Amino acid sequence: MVNRVNTRRAYGDGYSAEVMVNRAVVSDPEIMNGTPCFQGTRVPFKNLIDYLEGGHALDEFLRQFPTVSRGKAIQALAEAKDSLLDRIA
């Protein structure tokens, strides 16, 4: 199951296009009872947030959860930031 999200990209000339983007974090009722996890893993996104809240470095999280790539972790944080900013804007 591939979870994708439609996003609109605006360009300087006023043109916008629909873009399909692979999501870093997905929720599937068949995996961990729908807990949001890094795509292709059983690692909950909340684990990354908990590590960072606890003052641990991203590298430590990645050592503990080798199935999560650095790129996916950074993408997940960017998606979470964008989601929050969209909700409060």
Q: What is the pTM of this model?
A: 0.75
pLDDT tens string, the chain, 89 residues long: the values are 444 444 444 444 444 444 446 999 999 999 999 999 999 999 999 999 999 999 999 999 999 999 999 999 999 999 999 999 999 98
Q: Locate the domains of the chain by residue range.
A: 24-88
Taking CA atoms, 55 is separated from 4, 49, 60, 61, 75, in Å, by 31, 10, 10, 11, 20
Contact predicate 70/57, CB 8 Å: no
Name the CATH architecture for the domain at 24-88. Answer: Orthogonal Bundle (1.10)
